[in-house]
Structure 1
Amino acid sequence: MAAACPSTAVPVWLSEDDLSCIICQGLLDWPTTLPCGHSFCLKCLNGLWVTKRAGVDGCPWACPICRKGPSAKPMLHKNPLLQDLVDKYRQAALELEAGPEPGPEPAPAPRSLCRPTPSQVTVQKSTTKVIQELTDLVGQLINIAKSLQMQRPGLESGLNNAPGIPHTDSSSEEEYSLDSPRNSVTFSATQKKIRAILHNLEEIRESLPGMHGSVPRQEAPREQVQEMASPLCLLPDQRCPVPRKASHCSLWAISPTFDLGSISCILEVSNNCRTVTVSRSLQPYPLGPERFLISQVLCSQSFSSGQKYWEVDTRNCSHWAVGVASWGMKRDQMLGRTMDSWCIEWKGPGQFSAWAMMKKTDLHLGLPEVVGVWLDLELGKLAFYSVADQEKLLYECEVSSSSPLHPAFWLYGLSPGNYLEIKQLNT
């Protein structure tokens, strides 16, 4: 934002969440501030008070966040400072989206003098460099995967009897034992290398929109590597740190249940505690410090070690977030906006994102009808998959917490009837 006096201008970085209404999750519109200090859209607050007249402790005009308020409806006034900030933020966002204004077009040069501009040359060199990096990484991945296979001569059934591979006698069983400490360290280190390279590959592929078709030769090696690595995920006595497909984690599948002590009064659960629905009226849950003030809920199950996998059906909810959080997560904060919660969030087409360490990452993907959640606390990894039709990795991040983690959910509180369902998996 430009200032009248540049010498006094102070850059202030704001995100949309800083100026958002917790009720509608959009930018504040005619913001009004309650005596407790919390601000909301005037229309959203009036609508909530009219439709949720049950109130809290006999107070129908309670603040949706701190649940405090007078017995009589307070006079609501526009907060001009907040409105000015919202207007400036919206204008700045529009200017960033539109980009710089185009200047006058220069006269076309004669054909014999036409040469690539410096920016065109930079783009061309950058694209060539990225493609070369992709090629090199695929080659590294193939070599590591092959060396991994050679380190495990007894990995696949019948491999010891294959031509060219000597049979190991009892004296060498210790050397190739899956439980051997030396081989376990080597195996774990190699897996980490494969995972790191795969992660780099995905980042490079995403940085080349529209270029996938121009380098089809890269696809075959990747499929070949996946085929070589997939038996590692299928071993019943081995962990699967980052499965190629979510279904490979069926050995770690669970069906957690919603916790009635943390659920918001805006939500209600089914008898089996695996379906949570946005209620049409406030539920008479006893108030307490563990209950969420916004439409969120944790599961009763907590995890501090090992690997877990569960699936969530999102087809009947228009706005939702699915992730994990510690039990100590603040009850007036949204999932992902704290240092002890992680999630992916769908707010409509073009509004799909992931939240980790209070940082938002836009996901340019379609709506996942069923979300698979893979939590590996041994490696400190969290991954989300779309598993309804074709299994696809949506997002992966690191997790760390000093306390156990619970499955966590958010549903849009102003859309009664919306619901999420934790699928019953065969375990």
Structure 2
Amino acid sequence: MASAVMEEDVKCSICLNLYTGPVTLTCGHNFCQECIETHLDTKETNGEEHSCPRCRKRFRRRPKLKKNTDLSNIAEKVKSSADQENRKCSDHNRILELYCTDDATCICVFCMVEGEHGGHKVERLEVSSEKKKKKLRDDLPLLKAEREKTEKRVQNLHNRRKMARKQREAIKGKVAALFKEIRKRVDILENRVRSDLSRQVEQEDPVSDLIRKLELKMDEMSKKIGRLEELNAADPITLLQDRDSDRHTEEDTGLCWNETAEPDEFLASIRSHIGLSMMIRKSLSDIMNTKDTHLPELQPTGIALDTNTAADNVQISKDRKSAASTDVKQTQPNTANRFESSQVLSTNTFSSGQHYWMVETSTSGDWAVGMGYPSMRRRGGWLGENKSWGIGRTGHSYQMLHNGESKLLSHAISSDSLLVYLDYEAGRLSFYELSDPPNILHTFTTTFTEPLHAALQLRKDFIYNSHSQIRVI
């Protein structure tokens, strides 16, 4: 009880902890030096009058602080006593001097002799403490290395996100420019079509011209009919002496209309329609081609399999686009580049830039798709060692493969079509499932140090006695 009262007497009324460097105000109250200086600084900043936090006594100017050495010594003794209390066994009120390694707990001598730790393996507290410190010292470099590795990964992710944002902004700008150009060209095309149609309407068409000519002819014939009717009523001498009537009658009755010379409105319409259609079609095709200028597409890389690397139990198609596992040993020259079992590389090498290629996989057998260095092991190796990266199927499970390890993917692959994407400079190799919608399976990030080849591995599933096959799309 006295100890509890003593502890309350040596607590700072500001921080409510045991005094640290206690000082005394002129009013006689004590505080931690840092606590009271912070209090006085706050008063000055707010333009308020200085005062004691306990008795509220005001000071005309900032009070001087006097160190209280006696109170500081008392506070230290109370702290030491509290530490000793914390080091005592709660069951026997004895100092904790031993460490039970079986139960991983600190104990006193009576706990080992009389208590539940009898017969357990125990060590002196200092010995166990030093062992743990040594382990912590050994773990510290590993933890620091892991933190540094994590920091690099975080920085890499920040850089990738920054790059992705820049790429998205660039694409948005290109899309805006593309549609602006399309709208401009469509407007030009519309105005051109309207102008052509207006010009055709304004021009005199052949039918109107013919109507005008025939109407003039009708006027002339009406005049002649009137003359002939006059002659018909004339006396014989006047009638017989009129020579023009004979000539005009022969010309008019001899008029024979040539229907083939009559203008064909339908033909004229067809010609106009075809002309406009061809012009519009060509203009629209030119407009669509502007897409390639503003948004050039990353074309898939044509992959060809290298028969000089194919293992004897891997059969390569004539077009070098397909590979299949087989029981029939292939007759191939024994070269240093040839795999001993199951694998084949592409003739293509990738040492820079962005590339992607696609494959169709079989639902039977065991297979793996990925990329690897030309220096990857050719004897007894498996795609996914330290010089290669891949996605594979074994039985009914799917794994990501690298560094000699395989880890299950978070979900099964539902599509037979996969896409492999490489960004060499960014050190990124990603695998996608070509489902609807496409789904990313896994991304490896590293710093590539050699050119890369596309790599396939194909093995027979001996449980189901089924072979595997992969075709490059």
TM-score range normalised by the length of the shorter chain: 0.3 to 0.5
Q: Which has the larger radius of gyration?
A: 2
TM-score of the superposed pair, with normalisation by structure 1? 0.42
With CA pairs under 8 Å and 6+ residues apart, which has the higher RCO, 1 or 2?
A: 1
TM-score of the superposed pair, with normalisation by structure 2? 0.38
